Amino acid sequence: MVHEIIQTHCAQCSPDEMVPHTILKEGTEPLIKCKQCGAIHQYRIPKTKSVDIRIVVSTGDHSSTHRLSLDSDKIVSIDDEFMVEDELHDQANFVLVTSIESGDKRVDSAKADEILTLWARSTDKVIAKISITRGWQTDTIDLQVPGDREFSVGETISRGPDVFRIKKIKIRNGRFTENEGEPIKAKYIKRIFTDSVERIEWLNRPAPKKTKKGSPMYTNKSIIKPRGSNTWTLKTKERD
Ligand SMILES: [Zn+2]
């Protein structure tokens, strides 16, 4: 005796809405009994058809339109990852869904056959925006990296002659992390905040003799506030 229940239509009492059925006999075409009216019938496993969905993929600062073939009953949600074929450039890109258009509104998730357009961004190649604080000024550089490249606070990155250390990461959901060693994939990163190595050395230098005299670095706390355990330890030592 099988006690499994499946939800399906009953030709006898409920042709439109799904109602619970008990499985009498399993197999490729199970024999099922409607719990509502007791009718016994054969269960036909529904064949999913596939639908072609328009998907607009943004890569860096340009976007391109593609077709994505999905099972019609597949639920698509924001942040879902798909592989999109790019016939023009003969490549397949991983993309991350950023917005779903269903009917005339934007939704967080929808069934594939109810989706009008998907908006996504390419994750294969992503631009990591990196802010580098050197001295009193902050530069931003764009670093092109694979979407799966992981960055974490405390990591040292070099680019040409530049060497800088990650102090904070802004994630695409708006969250910031300053947790040292927490790896974040580039495709989820909005911006990486770093200090140039010269600046770190400068922050960690021995304390100047006359701090009271009001050197500019003590006037703006938000600029000079050291981040990370290393600098805090040193600061404590400086006070001793
Ligand atoms: Zn029934």
User: What b-and-e string marks burial along 32-53, b requiring 16 or more CB atoms within 10 Å of the CB?
Assistant: bbbeeeeeebebeeeeeeebeb
Here the tokens at position 17 are 């809405």
What pLDDT does 233 receive? Answer: 32
User: What spacing in Å lies between the alpha carbon of 154 and ligand 1's midpoint?
Assistant: 63
User: What spacing in Å lies between the alpha carbon of 13 and ligand 1's midpoint?
Assistant: 4
User: What spacing in Å lies between the alpha carbon of 50 and ligand 1's midpoint?
Assistant: 29
User: What spacing in Å lies between the alpha carbon of 10 and ligand 1's midpoint?
Assistant: 5
Handedness of CA 150, 232, 197, 225 (dihedral sign): positive
What pLDDT does 148 receive? Answer: 85
Half-sphere exposure of 180 (CA within 13 A, CB side): 8
- Is 3.10.20.120 the CATH classification of the domain at 126-200? yes
For the chain, the straight-line distance linking the first and the last C-alpha, in angstroms and rounded, comes to 78
SS3 state of residue 148: coil
pTM: 0.47
What pLDDT does 32 receive? Answer: 92
Give the other-Cβ count within 10 Å of 117's Cβ. Answer: 14
User: What spacing in Å lies between the alpha carbon of 41 and ligand 1's midpoint?
Assistant: 9
User: What spacing in Å lies between the alpha carbon of 20 and ligand 1's midpoint?
Assistant: 9
User: What spacing in Å lies between the alpha carbon of 8 and ligand 1's midpoint?
Assistant: 10
User: What spacing in Å lies between the alpha carbon of 36 and ligand 1's midpoint?
Assistant: 5
User: What spacing in Å lies between the alpha carbon of 1 and ligand 1's midpoint?
Assistant: 20
What count of residues does the chain have?
240
Could you say which residues of the chain have pLDDT below 70? 1-3, 87-92, 208-240
Distance separating alpha carbons of residues 129 and 54, to the nearest angstrom: 29
Name which of 76, 55, 58 is nearest 66 in CA terms.
Answer: 55
